[in-house]
């Protein structure tokens, strides 16, 4: 009962923390509606959970080994997620430090003079370079996905490396989505900095390996940016059913409730040993007899487009 009580409190705290972005979101909406013609912008919210509540310390912008950011300039709205590779814990390395540094640096670089909203891959590349240049090495590796809405032309530009990703829903259909980048099953592309002497034993991909896409968006489009804890556990049809319910929604509270529900669904399914999850289906395609969800950190960044 003691553990259950603590888990309930931590889940409640995680859900409440999701509402911390509402004031900022509402402010952004107000500022964008002040002109004679509204410029394209995101209304965005965040929710997530660490895999292990009892050992994970809450930090803004992090859920366990997952990290995220969302920020805006006068010309762009930017969303990003990153997932630190958990295998580094066996080496005494906190995988969340790598992903957190990437996302915090991406967020800072968005506000630099030379930020190019048509080149989100540059954010990943420059952030990774800064990480490599740190005097105190930040060891580990991470997947990452960054998505930019360029308000000048109502076009979204994306860069994705690994198995985090995004999905865009319009009129009840998925119109755009990222594709997983895998070296082989359950081994995604990743940005890495291995410990000295381990260079030849660790996969390390260049930011140039990221998949990049661009596409115009329309008023009411729904955009999900998430880590693999969501995509490995929630079937695409269930994702679509939830996302199409918030098409055109401009109320950040309603959007937040959907993000909360989606994150809770992903977490619940991840610990369901009987559920045939997308992860288990992919494992069987690779001749691995698997059933159930994949326990993991969960990060959901949910946005709608207002034009």
Phi, psi (deg, nearest 5) at residue 90:
-70, -15
- DSSP helix/strand/coil, 89: helix
pLDDT digits (tens, 9 = 90+) for 49-63: 999 988 888 889 999
Residue 112 reports pLDDT greater than 90: yes
Position 15 scores a pLDDT of 52
Work out the pLDDT band at 13, boundaries 50, 70, 90: low
- Which two tokens mark 30? 């107000």
- Which two tokens mark 144? 């990452």
Residue 34 reports pLDDT greater than 70: no
The most confident of the ranges 18-32, 36-50, 64-78, 85-99 is 64-78
In the chain, DSSP assigns E strands to: 41-49, 62-63, 66-72, 76-84, 140-150, 155-161, 165-170, 173-177, 182-184, 187-188, 191-193, 211-216, 222-226, 298-306
Beta strand 165-170 with 155-161 is unpaired
Beta strand 76-84 with 66-72 is antiparallel
Residue 7 reports pLDDT greater than 70: no
The CATH number, out of the four listed (3.90.1420.10, 3.30.1490.100, 3.60.40.10, 1.20.1250.20), of the domain defined by the range 38-306: 3.60.40.10
Work out the pLDDT band at 194, boundaries 50, 70, 90: very high
What's the CA gap between 166 and 153, in Å, rounded?
Answer: 20
Position 200 scores a pLDDT of 75
Residue 249 reports pLDDT greater than 80: yes
Environment class of 254 (CB within 10 Å of its CB; exposed 0-12, middle 13-18, buried 19+): middle
- 178/56: higher pLDDT: 178
Residue 47 reports pLDDT greater than 50: yes
Residue 261 reports pLDDT greater than 90: yes
CA dihedral 4, 9, 13, 15 (to 10 degrees): 50
Q: Chain-wide mean pLDDT for the chain?
A: 90
> How many CA atoms within 13 Å lie on the side-chain side of 75?
11
pLDDT digits (tens, 9 = 90+) for 277-295: 999 999 999 999 999 999 9
Work out the pLDDT band at 17, boundaries 50, 70, 90: low
Report CA-CA distances (Å) from 165 to 162, 177, 196, 239, 281. Answer: 8, 8, 30, 13, 19
Least confident of 84-93, 159-168, 187-196, 296-305: 84-93
What's the CA gap between 70 and 146, in Å, rounded?
Answer: 10
Helix H or strand E segment including 107: helix 95-110
Position 37 scores a pLDDT of 54
What's the CA gap between 259 and 165, in Å, rounded?
Answer: 16
User: What Rg value do the Cα atoms of the chain yield, rounded?
Assistant: 19
Least confident of 24-38, 150-164, 201-215, 238-252: 24-38
Report CA-CA distances (Å) from 132 to 137, 141, 146, 167, 203. Answer: 7, 11, 19, 30, 15
- Which two tokens mark 230? 């969501």
Residue 171 reports pLDDT greater than 60: yes
Work out the pLDDT band at 76, boundaries 50, 70, 90: very high
pTM of the model: 0.90
- DSSP helix/strand/coil, 149: strand
Report, as an integer, the average pLDDT of 215-225.
98
Residue 41 reports pLDDT greater than 70: yes
What's the CA gap between 187 and 123, in Å, rounded?
Answer: 23
Position 206 scores a pLDDT of 97
- Find all residues with CB under 8 Å of 69, minimum gap 6, and list them: 61, 78, 79, 80, 103, 104, 106, 107
Residue 16 reports pLDDT greater than 90: no
Report, as an integer, the average pLDDT of 175-184.
97
Report, as an integer, the average pLDDT of 240-254.
98
Per this entry, what is the length of the chain? 307
Domain ranges for the chain? 38-306
Residue 88 reports pLDDT greater than 80: yes
Identify the residue whose tokens are 């660790």.
202
């Amino acid at each position: 009962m003691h553990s259950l009580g603590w888990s309930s409190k931590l889940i409640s705290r995680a859900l409440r923390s999701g509402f911390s972005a509402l004031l900022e979101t509402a402010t952004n909406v107000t500022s964008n509606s002040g002109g004679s013609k509204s410029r394209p912008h995101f209304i965005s919210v965040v929710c997530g959970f660490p895999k292990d509540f009892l050992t994970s310390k809450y930090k803004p912008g992090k859920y366990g080994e997952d990290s995220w950011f969302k920020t805006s300039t006068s010309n762009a709205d930017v969303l990003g997620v990153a997932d630190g590779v958990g295998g580094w814990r066996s080496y005494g390395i906190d995988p969340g430090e790598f992903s957190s540094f990437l996302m915090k640096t991406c967020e800072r670089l968005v506000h630099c003079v030379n930020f190019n909203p048509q080149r989100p891959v540059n954010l990943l590349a420059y952030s990774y370079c800064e990480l490599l240049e740190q005097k105190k090495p930040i060891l580990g590796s991470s997947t990452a996905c960054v998505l930019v809405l360029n308000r000048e032309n109502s076009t979204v530009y994306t860069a994705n490396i690994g198995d985090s990703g995004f999905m865009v829903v319009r009129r009840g259909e998925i119109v755009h989505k990222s594709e997983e980048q895998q070296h082989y099953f359950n081994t995604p592309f990743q940005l890495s900095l291995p410990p000295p002497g381990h260079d030849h034993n660790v996969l390390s991909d260049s930011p140039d390996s990221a998949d990049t896409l661009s596409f115009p968006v329309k008023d009411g489009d729904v955009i999900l940016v998430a880590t693999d804890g969501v995509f490995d556990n929630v079937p695409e049809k269930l994702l679509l059913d939830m996302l199409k319910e918030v098409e055109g929604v401009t109320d950040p509270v309603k959007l937040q409730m959907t993000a909360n529900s989606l994150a809770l669904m992903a977490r619940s399914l991840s610990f369901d040993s009987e559920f045939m999850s997308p992860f288990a289906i992919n494992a069987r395609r690779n001749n691995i007899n698997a059933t159930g969800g994949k326990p993991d950190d969960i990060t959901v960044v949910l946005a709608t487009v207002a034009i």
